Amino acid sequence: MNHNVAFERIVAGHGATVLRVCRAVLGRADADDAWSETFLSAFKAYPDLPHGANIEAWLVTIAHRKAIDITRGIARRAVPVGEVPETPALDGAEARDHDVADAVSRLPVKQRQAIAYHYLAGLPYVEIGTIIGGSPEAARRAAADGIATLRRTYPNPPTPKGRTS
Amino acid sequence: MNAHDDLASDLELAHADDANDLPRLHARLVEAAQRDGVLDVAYRTIDSPVGTLLLAATEVGLVRVAYESEDHDSVLQHLGDRISPRILEAPARLDAVSRELDQYFAGRLHSFTVPLDRRLSSGFRRTVLEHLTDIAYGHTASYAAVAALAGNPRAARAVGTACATNPLPVVVPCHRVLRADGTLGGYLGGSDAKRTLLALESAA
């Protein structure tokens, strides 16, 4: 009888993962909005969620749709930018995190989604295919292509030890 | 495969939250849920002389006060089953009752004025609980006397059950009900808590 777990526990258990997914798919600037809309929408629908449903897959599915909405909204509002402002120089681990995030942001959207849903949310490709629309094989290929590009493009090699948390 | 794992963990770190991100987003969620009228149950915990208390409120009013011994996780689960699983830790809705409880524990407040949501009790138990506030602050009554107040003088045992399952202890003063011989009787928060509350009220 694990019915009707307080939604607070859902936020505590999945909030960080969903934020990482939103950041990988949308970039840092829009991730907060995507997270907020995802959890508000999930909160409203929560009482009707079938018992035994995979919560993380459900949340990622909602986040996927919210990210699409947000991307469309941005495209509608987009104005050409003259000069891109310089980002301050970072060093050490922070610089590498920035590089990784930057390299991810340059990937085609399907690859970003496949990588985020598989490597950050831990979903199987069968599930990811359903979410992004396409076969599991296509999802697997998108992730593999993205990972291959990341390996080529992101400049600092991963430190061998001591960066697990 | 090692490089693969490193890349996966680098991906995770590169997009990870820092300490303030989730509390900030949580606050935003609470605000939006409240604004849209979908925050069915808000809760918080407070420290008190009788241990950590869980306070939960619906939009109607205070619906649950729970002792630590009742296991706050299962209390929330139970609220999810009985009321709605749309439950968030949202202290603002509990501000008024927290203030009144602080004053009560400081001996400065003798009766609570916050609105109550009594939906978790029904029937004779609810009648009993509604009559507990007839026992004035600093006074006590026997189970039999409360049974009489509730309109069924022979139902002393049912009064005991009603008190033992009071969803709003402290605020609805089941601690003021004692055995006919004046001994303590049971208490859902434990005898120490009952003694503490009675001592607090008799000192004031």
The vertex-A100 CA angle with B16 and A31, nearest 5°, equals 45
Per DSSP, what are the bridge partners of residue B116?
B62
**Yes or no, beta carbons of B13 and A147 under 8 Å apart:** no
| Residue B155 near residue B53 (C-beta atoms within 8 A) | no
Distance (Å, rounded) from C-alpha B97 to C-alpha B90? 13
Amino acid A91: pLDDT: 63
Any idea which residue has 């001996």 for tokens?
Answer: B107
Distance separating the N- and C-terminal Cα atoms of chain B: 70
Cβ contacts of A23 on chain B, cutoff 8 Å: 15
Cβ contacts of A115 on chain B, cutoff 8 Å: 11
Q: Exposed/middle/buried for A38, CB within 10 Å: 0-12, 13-18, 19+?
A: buried
ipTM of the complex: 0.90
Per DSSP, what are the bridge partners of residue B91?
none
pLDDT in tens, B84-130: 999 999 999 999 999 999 999 999 999 999 999 999 999 999 999 99
**Which residue type occupies B38?**
V
Cβ contacts of B43 on chain A, cutoff 8 Å: 8
Distance (Å, rounded) from C-alpha A88 to C-alpha A77? 27
pLDDT in tens, A15-42: 999 999 999 999 988 999 999 999 999 9
User: Taking an 8 Å Cβ-Cβ cutoff, which residues of chain B contact chain A?
Assistant: 2-4, 6-17, 21-22, 24-26, 28-29, 32-33, 36, 38, 41, 43, 76-77, 79-81, 84-89
| Residue B194 near residue B187 (C-beta atoms within 8 A) | yes
pTM of structure: 0.88
All residue ranges of chain A with pLDDT < 50 are 1-2, 157-165
Chain A: residue nearest B3 by CA? A158
**Which residue type occupies B12?**
E
Query: A–B: how many Cβ contacts below 8 A?
Result: 120
Backbone angles phi, psi at B64, to 5 degrees: -155, 135
| Residue B54 near residue B43 (C-beta atoms within 8 A) | yes
| Residue B144 near residue B88 (C-beta atoms within 8 A) | no
The vertex-A92 CA angle with A89 and A94, nearest 5°, equals 70
Distance separating the N- and C-terminal Cα atoms of chain A: 33
pLDDT in tens, B28-83: 999 999 999 999 999 999 999 999 999 999 999 999 999 999 999 999 999 999 99
User: Which one-letter DSSP state was computed for residue A52?
Assistant: T
**Yes or no, beta carbons of A8 and B88 under 8 Å apart:** yes
Amino acid A158: pLDDT: 47
Q: Name, in order, each residue with C-beta under 8 angstroms of A110's C-beta and a sequence gap of 6 or more.
A: A132, A142
Among B17, B33, B77, whose Cβ lies nearest the Cβ of A4? B77
Q: Name, in order, each residue with C-beta under 8 angstroms of B102's C-beta and a sequence gap of 6 or more.
A: B46
Among B10, B25, B26, whose Cβ lies nearest the Cβ of A100? B10
Catalytic residue status for B174: yes
Distance from CA of A82 to the nearest CA of B (A): 28
